[in-house]
Amino acid sequence: MYTIAQLQQKSNRLREDVIDMLVHAGSGHSAGPLDLAEIFTALYFRIMDHDPKNPSWEDRDRLYLSCGHNAPIRYAAMIEAGYLPKSYLKTLRKLGSPLQGHPSRHDWKAVESSSGPLGQGSSVAVGAALSARMDKKRHWVYCVVSDGEQNEGQTWEAAMLAGKMKLHNLIFLMDRNNIQIDGYTENIMPLEPIADKYRAFNWHVIEVDGHNIEAIIDAVNEAKAVYEKPTMIICHTIPGKGVSFMERDYLWHGKPPTKDEAKIALRELRSMRGKIMTEYD
Ligand SMILES: Cc1ncc(C[n+]2csc(CCOP(=O)(O)OP(=O)(O)O)c2C)c(N)n1
Ligand SMILES: [Mg+2]
């Protein structure tokens, strides 16, 4: 089992992969994939029961990515876990690649669902948790959602049903990075008090630092112990985390670095490697 320090190190490495992927693709999203690195590392390398050699294993935990535009970090984590060879990183957004700009189950069966239209993944995950319970299956259903996508009405329909059905096998992780496509969430459509809103829909709610892998793992363990409620883990993150000129700037929501910017970003991320080991060991 990886130590927390190794997992933190891995998440930083995945950020480097994301930068590589985006610069090769020449288009795509930077801020969200960078800030989700710890969440996807925790999921694929500690939390989830899954088998990269057998992606359709019936008893696998399910992971839905509702905010499909953040796909690069999911792909990077899956490739690191062995779902595909590393060489695929450079095929992001290319015709015929399994790594489409938004997850496409048509092009890659290992992604649990196609996604991109915001809000839909929440409903898909609720349906998956409900059907798992009806089939008396014991796997967990995870869903990563963004804060901007809470603007979608469908999100709340899904939340209402999950609360009503007491789906304790359902665990959501929200990327609370405070940005969306056109600006800061609280300017465009204020979400606060977002935790209270989910509590009012009969969810168990936990708030964590989304860059602290140990806190994410602890929160998932708490969620598993909660009976008769779905759980929302609100993960507070810094958009563009790890790259100084991208951090907290919503203009990096949907653009890739240029070659020169990528060089600076990779230099910054590599300089973090040594620091992480001293901080977490
Ligand atoms: C139903 C729907 N409406 C609009 C869009 C266009 N869109 C793509 S990403 C995005 C911003 C969503 O905010 P968030 O996911 O929080 O952005 P991030 O934090 O990842 O930058 C929008 C409006 C979409 N994908 N789906
Ligand atoms: Mg956001």
How crowded is residue 56: how many other Cβ atoms within 10 Å of its Cβ?
8
Quote the CA–CA distance of 45 and 37 in Å, as a whole number.
Answer: 12
What is 4-280's CATH number? 3.40.50.970
Ligand closest to 250 (CA) is: 1
Residue 115 Cβ inside 6 Å of ligand 1? The answer reads no
- CA 69 vs. chain centroid, Å, equals 10
DSSP state of 235: E
Work out which ligand 1 atom sits closest to the CA atom of 68. Answer: 25
pLDDT at 281: 59
pLDDT at 201: 98
Mean pLDDT for the stretch of residues 235-244: 98
Q: Return the residue whose CA atom lies nearest to atom 10 of ligand 1.
A: 181
Pocket test for ligand 1, best of 30, 146, 147 (most atoms within 8 A of CB): 146
More confident of the two residues 273 and 238: 238
What is each CA distance from 21 to 38, 68, 126, 229, 254, in whole angstroms?
A: 18, 16, 31, 38, 14
**Do the strands 231-236 and 204-209 form a parallel or antiparallel pair, or are they unpaired?**
parallel
Determine if the pTM surpasses 0.75.
yes
- Strand stretches in 185-257, DSSP E: 204-209, 231-236
pLDDT at 273: 83
Q: Is the per-residue pLDDT at 18 higher than 70?
A: yes
Residue 177 Cβ inside 6 Å of ligand 1? The answer reads yes
For the stretch 76-92, pLDDT in tens is: 999 999 999 999 999 99
DSSP 258-272: -HHHHHHHHHHHHHH
Dig out the tokens for 262 from the structure. Answer: 């990528």
Largest CA distance in the chain: 53
Confidence class for position 274, pLDDT limits 50, 70, 90: confident
Confidence class for position 190, pLDDT limits 50, 70, 90: very high
Which residues lie closer than 8 Å to 134 by C-beta, 6 or more apart? none
Q: Is the per-residue pLDDT at 162 higher than 80?
A: yes
pLDDT at 277: 67
For the stretch 164-175, pLDDT in tens is: 999 999 999 999
For the stretch 117-146, pLDDT in tens is: 999 999 999 999 999 999 999 999 999 999
Report angle CA 167, 169, 175 to the nearest 5 degrees. Answer: 95
